[in-house]
Amino acid sequence: MSFLQGKWASFEEMYSDLKDDPVFLQGIKTDVSKKISNLILEIENAKSSKDMFDCTCKLSSFFDNLEKDATHDIYKKTNVYVLVLNAVFHNAKFTDTIVEILGNGEKISDLKKDSKEREELIFVNTSILLAFFGIAIDHQSINEISIEFLRKNTTDLLKKIVKKSAYKIDFINLCFFLEKVSWDNGLYFNQNYESKFPVKLNDSFLFTNLKTSRAFAGVTLTSLIIRPAIERRFKSIISGINDEKFSIVDSMDSVYDISHQINEKIKHYYRNTPKDITGFF
C-alpha cells in the first residue's frame, strides 16, 4: 500500500484511516498486524518517558525476533515507520509538553536544573528517538520518494504543534529545540528495565537503532530549517536596509553565521547517519 496514491486528502486523514484499519499491513499475517496496530495505539497514549521507552523496546524486540527477510517484507509492503512517527506526534502529552516548555521561553540548561522539568525534557528526548526508530530499523528499504514523503509529513506534524500553541511557537525554534534535546546526552532515559521488562531484548540491536534514529532526527530537523532560517535572516536584513546604521558587511556576516551553523550541524549528523540515506536529505 502506497501513501502516495492520492487516497487521502491530508496526512491527518491518512493516519486516522490507517491506524483504525486492521488490514493496513497488506499481505502480512493478521497476528503481526494486530501487534503493530496495538503498539501504535500504545505509543499514542503513552504518559511518561518510561512508557515511550517501553514502546521503543517492544518495537525493537518485535523486529529483532523476525528474520531479515520478514522485516524487509513488512517494510516493502507497508510504511509502518510512518505510523510510528505519526503516533508519537499525535501523543497529547508530547505536544502539550513541547507547547508548555517553549511557551515559557526558558533555556534548556535552566530546565535541566529542576527535577520535574528535567523529566519533561527526558520525555521529549525519548519520544523523538522513538519517532524515528521505525525508520532506523530497516532504512535500506526506504527509498528517496519515501524520504521526501517523510520530510513533508514531519513538516506537517511540526506545524500542527505551532498551531496548537496559537502560533506562540516559531517553526524554526521548534526544530532547533527538538534537535538539541534529541542530541543531549544528559537527557537519555536510563532507568533499569531488565528485571521488569516483559519482552526479551537484544541490547545491541536496541541501542544501535537508537543511535541511528537520533542521527535521522538530527538530519531531518536540521534539513527542515535550512530554507526558512536563511529566508528569515534575509528578511531581517532587508527590513533594516534604510537604517543609517545598516552595514552590508555585517549583514553578510549574519547570513554566513547562520549558514555555517546549519552546515556544521549537518556535517556532524552525516558522520553518524547511514551513508545510503544521507544523500536523500
pTM for this predicted structure: 0.83
**Mean pLDDT (whole number) for 273-279:** 60
Residue 113: which residues within 8 A CB-CB, separation 6 or more? none
Residues 6+ apart with CB under 8 A from 238: none
Distance CA 86, CA 164 (A): 16
- What would the pLDDT profile of 157-168 be if each residue is shown by its tens digit? 999 999 999 988
Q: pLDDT grade, residue 2 (50/70/90)?
A: very low
Residue 15 confidence class, pLDDT cut points 50, 70, 90: confident
Asked if the structure places residue 94 within a domain, the reply is: yes
For residue 77, tell me if it sits in a domain: yes
Q: What angle separates helix 171-182 from helix 92-104, to the nearest 10 degrees? A: 110
pLDDT of residue 213 exceeding 70:
yes
Choose between 70 and 1: higher pLDDT.
Answer: 70
Predicted confidence (pLDDT) per residue in 227-239, tens digit:
766 676 666 666 6
CA 192, chain centre distance (Å): 24
Whose cell is 509529513? That residue is 153
Q: At residue 89, does pLDDT exceed 80? A: yes
- Inside any domain, residue 272: no
Q: Examine residue 276 and state whether it is found in any structural domain, yes or no.
A: no
The tally of domains found in the chain comes to: 1
Q: Would 238 be classed as within a structural domain? A: no
Higher pLDDT, 139 or 176: 176
Q: Which of 243, 109, 110, 94 is nearest to 164 (CA)?
A: 94
Q: CA geometry: angle at 143 spanning 137 and 147, to 5°?
A: 80
- From the list 276, 253, 256, 252, the residue with the least C-alpha distance to 264 is 256
Model confidence at 219, pLDDT cuts 50, 70, 90, reads confident
Does a structural domain hold residue 169?
A: yes
Q: Where are the alpha helices (DSSP H) in the chain?
A: 11-19, 30-44, 49-64, 68-77, 80-89, 92-104, 108-111, 115-131, 133-137, 144-164, 171-182, 203-239, 248-270, 275-278
User: In 3-state terms, what secondary structure has residue 114?
Assistant: coil
Residue 5 in any domain: the answer is: no
Average pLDDT over residues 112-140: 92
- The domain in which residue 108 lies consists of 11-228
The string of DSSP codes covering 150-194 is HHHHHHHHHHHHHHHTTT-S-HHHHHHHHHHHHT-GGGS-----T
Q: Is residue 154 part of a domain?
A: yes
